[in-house]
């Protein structure tokens, strides 16, 4: 989702104006079988439309063989000026073998909620946690709970994330909560929320997953 956020934002920005944008929402549809076997991913982004304040972009992710891996859509608030850049995060100090390890977030969704320690290098130039990073943490928690529920690996089919308020990257802890909202024989839907230190929801996500055949 971090890659998708960057691609969609680039698609939403037309050359010259606006100079920057703030993410409101992202949606991603995934060809799970093709994605699981892809060794390289190529991104293609397009500008969709814009009005006075709202701009949208779309993207495609394809493998080296041209197979479509995923399609995405993003909605952004356009800002006709460059964002201030007072915040320069440091680099992570250790090598990581996975995104969740990099984020220092290994969710254990056998509990109702889990905490996520926020580090300054998860921030964008405005000093808030990057939208793609937030999405990655939420969907990692959803996947973990789904595996706990089913006892087997699951595959994402659709992911959506909505950003309600900025979450500062100030070395505090955020809280992640996940709920199973619908479960059938082949598919299940999960909701996740990312809570600020004051208990307010900053970001929420929904995912539809394909369940293992039993």
Same domain, 111 and 193: yes
Which residues on neighbouring strands pair with residue 28, listed in sequence order?
72, 159
Which residues on neighbouring strands pair with residue 187, listed in sequence order?
210
Same domain, 150 and 182: yes
pLDDT digits (tens, 9 = 90+) for 56-80: 888 899 998 899 999 999 998 877 6
CA pair distance 198, 206, nearest whole angstrom: 22
Same domain, 138 and 74: no
Q: How many domains does the chain have?
A: 2
| Helices 2-12, 131-150: inter-axial angle, 10-degree rounding | 140
pTM of the model: 0.85
Phi, psi of 98, deg, nearest 5: -150, 165
For residue 119, give Cα distances in angstroms to 67, 173, 174. 36, 9, 11
Q: What is the pLDDT of residue 88?
A: 63
CA pair distance 32, 202, nearest whole angstrom: 28
Q: What is the pLDDT of residue 49?
A: 72
pLDDT digits (tens, 9 = 90+) for 15-54: 655 567 788 999 999 998 898 888 889 988 887 777 777 8
3-class SS string, 46-57:
EEEEECCCEEEE
Domain C-terminal end among 25, 53, 83: 83
Structure tokens at 140: 């990692």
Same domain, 141 and 52: no
Q: What is the pLDDT of residue 85?
A: 56
pLDDT digits (tens, 9 = 90+) for 147-198: 988 888 899 999 999 999 999 888 688 999 999 999 888 999 999 999 998 8
Burial of 166 (0-12, 13-18, 19+ CB in 10 A): middle
Q: What is the pLDDT of residue 212?
A: 81
Q: What is the pLDDT of residue 185?
A: 87
Same domain, 27 and 112: no
Q: Which of 136, 14, 29, 134 is nearest to 76 (CA)?
A: 14
Same domain, 135 and 39: no
pLDDT digits (tens, 9 = 90+) for 93-149: 667 777 777 777 877 767 778 888 887 778 877 788 888 889 999 999 999 899 988
Same domain, 155 and 192: yes
Same domain, 146 and 119: yes
Same domain, 95 and 160: yes
CATH number at residue 142: 3.10.129.10
Q: Whole domain around residue 72: which residue ranges?
A: 1-83
Domain C-terminal end among 46, 64, 83: 83
Same domain, 126 and 68: no
Same domain, 191 and 149: yes
Same domain, 70 and 92: no
Domain C-terminal end among 83, 107, 140: 83
């Amino acid at each position: 989702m971090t890659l998708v956020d960057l691609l969609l934002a680039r698609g939403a920005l037309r050359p010259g104006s606006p100079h920057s944008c703030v993410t409101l929402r992202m949606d991603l549809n995934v060809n799970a079988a093709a994605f699981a076997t892809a060794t390289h991913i190529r991104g293609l982004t397009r500008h969709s439309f814009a009005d006075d304040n709202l701009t949208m972009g779309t993207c495609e992710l394809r493998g080296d063989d041209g197979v479509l891996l995923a399609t995405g859509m993003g909605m952004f608030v356009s800002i006709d000026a460059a964002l201030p850049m007072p915040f320069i995060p440091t680099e992570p100090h250790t090598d990581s073998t996975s995104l969740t390890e990099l984020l220092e977030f290994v969710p254990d969704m056998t509990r109702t909620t889990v905490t996520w320690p926020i580090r300054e290098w998860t921030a964008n130039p405005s000093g808030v946690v990057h939208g793609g990073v937030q999405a990655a943490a939420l969907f990692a928690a959803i996947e973990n709970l789904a595996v706990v529920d089913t006892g087997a690996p699951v595959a994402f089919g659709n992911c959506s994330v909505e950003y309600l308020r900025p979450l500062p990257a100030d070395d505090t802890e955020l809280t992640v909560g996940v709920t199973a909202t619908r479960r059938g024989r082949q598919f299940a839907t999960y909701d996740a929320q990312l809570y600020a230190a004051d208990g307010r929801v900053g970001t929420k996500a929904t995912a539809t997953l394909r369940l293992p055949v039993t």
